[in-house]
Amino acid sequence: MIGAIADDVTGATDVAVALRRRGIRTLLYFGLPPQGAEAPEHDAVVIALKTRTIHKADAVARSLRALRWLRAHGAAEQVYFKYCSTFDSTPDGNIGPVLDALADAMDAPIVPMTPSSPEHGRTQYNGYLFVGDVLLGESHMSHHPLTPMTDSYLPRLLEAQSAYRSGVVTLPHVRGQGVQRRLAELREQGVRYAFVDALEDDDLMTAGRALARAPLVAGAAGLAGGLAAARAGAGHGEAPAPEPSGPAAVLAGSCSARTLQQVQAMIEAGRPAYRLDALADQNADSLARAALAWYDTLRQDTGAPLIYSSLEPAKLRRVQEALGAERSASILEAAIGRIARGLVERGVTRLITAGGETSGAVVSALGVPGGVIGAEATRGVPWIFTPSGPALLLKSGNFGDPRLLLEASR
């Protein structure tokens, strides 16, 4: 059985649906699964953590707890550590510290990985990560509020955060000379982390077949899809994918280029929109109260509203200079969590959130333990049906076309 540990909740939904698409019956939990919970038949478990930007010791402790749970429940035959397809991290971590801890705990001699996800425009070549046709460090990710990415060479990025050496399985190895052969060479050279080049889905499928027996693998959802495809013989066909209904609302806390376009599309379509301004009010409670009071004034026929804090890079910098990056993020995340609770109390049954950290804040504020994976609003962004809460669409900041938020909230 595959056990996946994801460093944020949007990443968890992305990897869960990548497994499910290949007929792998997948359970998704937000945090450690509740004790004694009855689980339907399954072939994979995904545990969504929120460890991407917290203190690294805490990230390591939570990830090891997740590993212990997977082992105790027979779900650690192969462990997949899901990080972002744009390698979101800082020189402190948390990808490196978490991987070091997992690799040590599992005694994994070498950990193959790749953030490549060609369907989202992320590709790895000679160890460099591209976003569309530019290098990661030259992409919009260099402006990220919490994890600005300014380098593009993956071994260097990981070595800065890890106690171990990194190397590359280059494309000629993937496409001919052999992934296993290259991994053996790298092991001899004392390398513990092997970034596998992949430009196309076929490369991920080849890598997935070669890595079917690796105890610990890491990366974005693309390689998880390759591993799942390698097991597809044991698959159960794609499960039915229900669509939710009922009143919807959109909460956007991502400042990624794609979310900014999606927010703009909602505003241009005339949807009611309310901006959370942390410069004007630094109290999460009163920010949330004011937003909910605004929501209470809306007519029924306006279309689903948008509440957002998303700002373009120059304005975001001003907020961060005034309040600090961490403080402004934590005020806004706390406010959005409270707003989510207030919206559900007011009858919202479809909640759409943009941004990984933002979605994590919403999931913890709602206290939902996990959910059943439903239809994808767009590739990698499935509806999640929670047992007693609303249906959730947890959208990675960078995913979806510019009309996604508008259309998903119709």
Ligand X SMILES: O=C(O)[C@@H](O)C(=O)COP(=O)(O)O
* Interacting residue ranges for ligand ADP, rule: CB under 6 A: 145-146, 253-256, 259, 278, 309-311, 316, 319-320, 328-329, 332-333, 355-358, 396-397
Q: Helix H segments across 107-211?
A: 154-159, 171-172, 179-188, 201-210
Cα(272)–Cα(269) distance, integer angstroms: 9
Least distance to ligand ADP, CB of residue 403, Å? 18
**Residues whose CB is less than 8 angstroms from the CB of residue 221 and which lie 6 or more positions away in sequence, other chains included:** 11, 14, 15, 17, 18, 82, 85, 117, 380
11 binds, among ligand X, ligand ADP, none (CB under 5 to 8 A by kind): ligand X
CB neighbours of 29 closer than 8 A, spacing ≥ 6? 45, 46, 47, 48, 369, 370
93 strand-pairing partners? 90
Q: What is the DSSP letter of 136?
A: G
Using CB under 6 A as the binding rule, the residues of this chain from 54 to 93 that contact ligand X are 84-86, 88
In what helix (H) or strand (E) does residue 133 lie, and over which residues does it extend? none
Contact 44, 19 (CB under 8 A): yes
Q: To the nearest whole angstrom, how small is the minimum distance from the Cβ of residue 202 to ligand ADP?
A: 28
3-class SS shares of the chain: helix, strand, coil, % to 5:
40, 20, 35
Out of ligand ADP, ligand X, none, what residue 253 binds, judged by CB under 5 to 8 A for its kind, is: ligand ADP
281 vs 376, beta carbon nearer ligand X: 376
Per rule CB under 6 A, is residue 221 in the interface with ligand X? yes
Instruction: Select from ligand ADP, ligand X, none the partner in contact with residue 85, using the beta carbon and a kind-dependent cut-off of 5 to 8 Å.
Output: ligand X
| DSSP character string of 182-201 | HHHHHHHTTEEEEEEPBSSH
- 398 binds ligand X per the rule CB under 6 A: yes
Nearer to ligand ADP, 187 or 327 (CB): 327
Question: Which one, 173 or 258, has the nearer CB to ligand X?
Answer: 258
CB of 255 to ligand ADP, least distance (A): 5
To ligand ADP, the closest distance from the beta carbon of 348 in angstroms equals 19
User: Measured from the CB atom, is 116 or 386 closer to ligand X?
Assistant: 116
Q: Choose between 180 and 330: whose C-beta lies nearer to ligand X.
A: 330
Helix, coil or strand: residue 399: coil
By CB under 6 A, is residue 220 in contact with ligand X?
Answer: yes
Indicate if the alpha-carbon torsion angle 250, 251, 256, 257 is positive or negative.
positive
By beta-carbon proximity to ligand ADP, the closer residue of 54 and 146 is 146
Query: Nearest to ligand X by Cβ — which residue?
Result: 356
Q: Which residues bind ligand X (CB under 6 A)?
A: 8, 10-11, 14, 84-86, 88, 220-221, 355-356, 396-398
